[in-house]
Chain A
């Protein structure tokens, strides 16, 4: 009986530590290590996206969906195919193809036509989505903590991207009403604003550290 109790306690402790790890990953991806403000993924839509918050939220949700699908598929591909076969060097090409496939599929779902047919118009969207989806897929496998970690990095990272895009849309709407010097208008003031928000987000790291001891 004592053995069974000890085993049950050990199992519960492992479950707790796994839950804490997942919670830490979520807080890391959304707040302390936000993929836009700390990891610099997906600047294109965050800094040159729409000014309306509603449109930004739609964009953020769409990109987050593509990033999540790509990360789950990429993580499975990496841990169950590439590592066993010893062909990890193909990861960038295969993950890029997965991101393109996820983008194409979601384009079909949301629009009902071939999204990539209009090349120049689609280029900005493509760079934006590839930057986030491919970046999160590569970031998820970098720590080599297994399939679940890689897949969740994509899902939580997408949530962090959504938050960042909405925050930046609010900042852009506010900046549009201000008298900004000519040379700072557009992207420069967007980057400087992001730097200040990034400083604010850095504060969360201390908060989380003090919470977890």
Chain B
């Protein structure tokens, strides 16, 4: 009998990048400015890299049946640390981010732990993969935050860019996050397809 939670995987096979993108989508609820994107992205990056560092060092010692639980424990610990650091370094932004900062960090760290226990995963590969995924989270959330701030308020990191710009208010609201996220993913997909077509590789 299938578990009800097995259905969460869906019909289509998922790759690690898609899992990471979906894990970071939760932050779109509050990432309406570049600053918020930067702070939440930095928290997620810290958590992803910290969890990756632990898994690179201790991954082989963790019993197979307890892996997801251990991953979650380390991810939540690093997320708490990121939350506390955010509260000290940027208290106003961390307060605006609320519980989304630790939640995004936990989600991204769990998604990034994909492949850490695969056959042939050396500590070096696990760590370099974690760094890449952490940087991806930071860059993706900052770019999406900047795009929403630019379109939704006509500013970038709080500075007005051009006078007379009519902001698209809906972009700063909840539906705007989905629309921007969907369009960004479609653009990434289009670029990947064009590249693959040029190189003659598989899409």
Contacts and interface: CB of A to CB of B under 8 A. Distances in A.
- Which range contains the number of B residues in contact with the other chain? 35 or more
B12 interface: yes
A contact face: mostly helix, strand, loop, or mixed: helix
A183 B192 CA distance: 9
A107 B8 contact: no
Interface string B40-77: 00000000000000000000000011111100110111
Contact of A196 (B9, B77, B175): B175
Nearest to A200: B175
B149 interface: no
Interface stretch (B24-32, B126-134, B157-165): B24-32
Contacts of A51: 11
Contact of A114 (B8, B12, B65, B182): B65
Given A127-B19, A199-B170, A103 B29 contact: no
B143 interface: no
Given A92-B80, A198-B175, A188 B186 contact: yes
Given A89-B80, A198-B174, A128 B5 contact: yes
A198 B114 CA distance: 30
A93 B7 contact: no
B80 A90 contact: yes
Nearest to B65: A117
Contact of A96 (B73, B177, B186): B73
B76 A93 contact: yes
**Residue from the set A59, A61, A96 with the largest chain B CB neighbour count within 10 Å:** A96
A107 B176 CA distance: 36
A130 B107 contact: yes
B5 A131 contact: no
Interface string A89-118: 110110111001001100100110011110
A50 B103 contact: no
A40 B113 contact: no
- With a 10 A CB-CB cut-off, give which of A37, A55, A130, A190 has the most chain B CB atoms: A130
A124 B72 contact: no
Contacts of B14: 48, 124
B107 A127 contact: yes
B29 A50 contact: no
A76 interface: no
Interface in B73-128: 73, 75-77, 79-80, 83-84, 98-99, 102-103, 106-107, 110-111, 113-114, 117-118
5 contacts: A48-B14, A50-B11, A100-B72, A125-B9, A138-B103
Interface of B: 1, 3-12, 14, 18-19, 21-23, 25-29, 64-69, 72-73, 75-77, 79-80, 83-84, 98-99, 102-103, 106-107, 110-111, 113-114, 117-118, 170, 173-179, 181-183, 185-187, 189-190, 193
- Please name the 6 residue pairs, one residue from A and one from B, whose CB atoms are nearest each other, closest first: A195-B178, A191-B182, A62-B4, A138-B99, A96-B76, A125-B5
Interface of A: 37-41, 43-45, 47-51, 55-56, 58-59, 61-63, 89-90, 92-93, 95-97, 100, 103-104, 107, 110-111, 114-117, 119-131, 134-135, 138-139, 142, 182-184, 186-192, 194-196, 198-199, 202
Given A187-B182, A191-B179, 13 more contacts: A41-B103, A49-B7, A93-B80, A100-B68, A100-B72, A122-B5, A124-B14, A127-B19, A134-B106, A138-B102, A182-B193, A188-B186, A195-B177
